[in-house]
Amino acid sequence: MVPNLPNRTNQRCAARLNLTDLSAVAFLIAIDVAARILPHAPDFTPVAATALFAATVLRVRALSPLVPIGAMLVGDAALGFYDWRMMAVVYAALALPAIAACLSTRLRRPAMAVPVLLVNSLTFFVVTNFAVWALSPIYAANAASLLKCYIAALPFLRNMAAGDLFWGLLLFGSYGIARSAWGRIAAGRLRRRRGLIAYA
């Protein structure tokens, strides 16, 4: 019996795909870190948008949570770390769009980007501010203080929702335009090739 020999072409294609995905992850992390380090309105960052975008465009979708987590780690290394419990809550909340989109084909549709990001902004607001109330000595352990915490954080919710929408529309819009342009270029090349074959 002749053993199955590895298909070198497939191996090269797989390596190229992995390199493309890793390059995209690194690029998205760089965008997130730059946006966090450069002057910006509080919470107006692309981290959640790049997480969802990564889950939509990467071939190996399991890599997509690396985008928000990697970006937060690098950014916090530059800006300063804080309470590890709060960091864990923030990191998990920002990775939610990537995880949800990995698990659901429907959430990866471009038309779902705006609803998913808005729901994520609200989820992030509810979860992280609950953690602030629970972990911080600033607030008393009662419902009135929890409500006070949420009211104080409303400007951050507005900024995050605006940032998620801005960056989400920028990323998905640019990607859609680039794909459309590349499709037209590829179609033009195919028509020219067919013309050459016809006259051969």
**4 domain-assigned:** no
What backbone torsions phi and psi does residue 181 show, to the nearest 5 degrees?
-65, -45
In a domain, 49, yes or no: yes
Q: What share of the chain in percent tops pLDDT 90?
A: 70
**Looking at the domain assignment, is residue 76 inside a domain?**
yes
Would you list the DSSP string of 120-188?
A: HHHHHHHHHHHHHHHH-TTS-SSHHHHHHHHHHTHHHHHHHHHHHHHHHHHHHHHHHHHHHHHHHHHHH
Report if residue 102 sits inside a domain: yes
**pLDDT recorded at residue 126:** 97
Q: Is residue 8 in a domain? A: no
CATH (domain of 109): 1.10.1760
Mean pLDDT of the chain: 87
pLDDT, tens digit only, all 200 positions of the chain: 444 545 554 445 444 557 889 999 999 999 999 999 999 999 999 999 999 999 999 999 999 999 999 999 999 999 999 999 999 999 999 999 999 999 988 888 888 999 999 999 999 999 999 999 999 889 999 999 999 999 999 999 999 999 999 999 999 999 889 888 877 776 666 666 666 555 55
CA distances from 87 to 22, 63, 135, 141 (A): 25, 20, 11, 21
Does residue 143 sit within a domain?
A: yes
Q: In whole angstroms, what is the distance from residue 150 CA to residue 135 CA?
A: 14
Domain, as residue range, for 89: 15-199
pLDDT at 2: 41
For 31, 127, 151, 154, 184, the CA distances from 122, given in Å and listed in that order, are: 23, 9, 13, 10, 39
Q: Indicate the number of domains in the chain.
A: 1
Q: Is 191 exposed, middle or buried (0-12, 13-18, 19+ CB in 10 A)?
A: exposed
In a domain, 75, yes or no: yes
Q: Is residue 29 in a domain? A: yes
48-91 per-position pLDDT tens digit: 999 999 999 999 999 999 999 999 999 999 999 999 999 999 99
Among candidate residues 76, 163, 153, 57, the one with its CA nearest the CA of residue 118: 163
